[in-house]
Amino acid sequence: MLTYTIRRLAFAVPTLLVISFLIFGILDLAPSDPTAQLPLTIPPEVREKIRLSLGLGDPFIVRYFKWLVQFMVNEPLNILEQWTGWTIGDGERLRVLSWQTRSPVVDLIVQRMPQTLWVVGMSYVVGIVIAIPIGVISAYRQYSWFDQFGTLFSMVGFSIPTFFTGLLFIVIFSVTLGWLPSIYDTTLVVEDWDSFVAQVKQMIMPTMVLGLYNASQLSRFMRASVLDNLNQDYVRTARAKGMTEKVVLLIHVLRNSMIPVVTVIALNLPQVFGGAIITEQIFRVNGLGQLLIGAIEGGDIPTVQTLTFIFAVLIVVFNLIADVLYGILDPRIRYD
């Protein structure tokens, strides 16, 4: 298992290098001028100097390696310094700078990360909490009205895009009923009961939109997995030994059928970050997704490159986690 993990890790590195090169290349080869949005009164020679100051004078390969070193070496060292308080080297390292704010991109990401993690994390938890009971009951009472309803729920939840459910929720709960705020206020500090209630209120809609979408996908997997397990011999043995249905279902079957579902949960997590881009835009959560959209609209290439690459890293890492987790949870599937 360890050798497998190491081999997979070793394979992840070239994959990420190729992806980083692709992302950098696409953004760099694009026919767009970062100074195009500046006022037209700026004379051409000053414009050229601005381009040089943004680091656009070097050839493509040089810029790629600069970015790679800044992102892969300098930034992790900086984070290490901040966490531990050590000083490594002289502490004067070039960092990936945003063109919009002229501040390091990683600092921007650190500012935006908590909001995204709260919303995405909570929505995923909500999704799992909804999906597991639905999946188990649907499978246990196959073809019952509950199962039919669960199938419909997952089909509808899967088909309706989050940007429509989000707007629908706003129309119903904010515009018509006026129960919940439609804009997520990030400056809110939770210090007493009232602010806690306000925080919960503003989190309900974004987490429910993403959570229902996740639940509709996961409940299908859960149902299929429980159905697979219910027909196994060990279930018959457990029943023959005289165990109650509750024990059979909740201890024997549930634990075994969670194995594939856990890996699906790990595999889908990066996609949820992608989906959060849209949800954050609807509810005005200033998380990573909004940072990305803002950077794309502003033509802020370094921020876009770094963020897109981080999303790619998430996908590769969670794929790895899912594969390793599968081997750990199910001893029958060991790769070596």
Partner 1 sequence: MTDAAAVRPDADAAAAADAAAAKRRHSSPWRDVWAQFSSHRGALAGAAVFAFMLLVVLVGPFIHDVDPQKLDIRAKNQFMSWEHPLGTDNLGRDMLAQVMAGGQVSLAVGVTAMLLSVLLGTAIGVTAGFSRRLDGPMMRLTDLFLALPLLPLLLVIIMLFRDTLRQAFGPESGIFILIVFVIGITSWMQTARIVRGDVLALKEREFVLAARSVGAPGRRIITRHILPNVLSPIMVSATLGVANAIITESALSFLGLGFPSDFPTWGRLLYDGANFMTLTPDRVIWPGLAISLTVLSVNYIGDGLRDALDPRIRGR
Q: Which residues bind partner 1 (CB under 8 A)?
A: 15, 18-19, 22-23, 26-27, 30-32, 155-156, 158-161, 163-164, 167-168, 170-171, 175-176, 270, 274-275, 277-278, 281-282, 292-293, 296-297, 299, 304, 307-308, 311-312, 314-316, 319
Do residues 215 and 127 lie in contact, with contact meaning Cβ atoms separated by under 8 Å? yes
User: Is the sign of the CA dihedral 49, 50, 54, 58 positive or negative?
Assistant: negative
Handedness of CA 302, 304, 307, 310 (dihedral sign): negative
**Whole-Å CA distances, 73 to 56, 78, 301, 316:** 21, 9, 20, 19
Nearer to partner 1, 70 or 154 (CB): 154
What is the smallest separation between the CB atom of 41 and partner 1, expressed in angstroms? Answer: 22
Which is closer to partner 1, CB of 219 or CB of 308?
308
Q: Quote the least distance from Cβ 266 to partner 1, whole Å.
A: 14
Q: To the nearest whole angstrom, how small is the minimum distance from the Cβ of residue 299 to partner 1? A: 8
Which residues have CB under 8 Å from 67's CB, separation 6+? 24, 96, 302, 305
User: 106 or 248, CB closer to partner 1?
Assistant: 106
C-alpha separations of 271 from 14, 115, 229 in Å: 22, 17, 28
Residue with tokens 């073809």: 143
* Identity of the residue, 54 or 293, whose beta carbon is nearer to partner 1 in the bound complex: 293
Measured from the CB atom, the residue of 11 and 86 that comes closer to partner 1 is 11
Query: Residue 22 or 73: which CB sits closer to partner 1?
Result: 22
Token reading at 186: 């990030």
Shortest CB 274 distance to partner 1, Å = 4
What is the closest distance, in whole angstroms, from the C-beta atom of residue 79 to partner 1 in the complex?
21
Q: Which is nearer to partner 1, 184 or 238 (by Cβ)? A: 184
Distance of closest approach, residue 66 Cβ to partner 1, in angstroms? 20
Q: Considering Cα of 274, then 293, then 70, then 121, what sign does the dihedral take?
A: negative
Judged by beta carbon, residue 15 or residue 103, the one nearer partner 1 is: 15
Q: How far is the CB of 176 from partner 1 (least distance, A)?
A: 7
Q: How far is the CB of 107 from partner 1 (least distance, A)?
A: 20
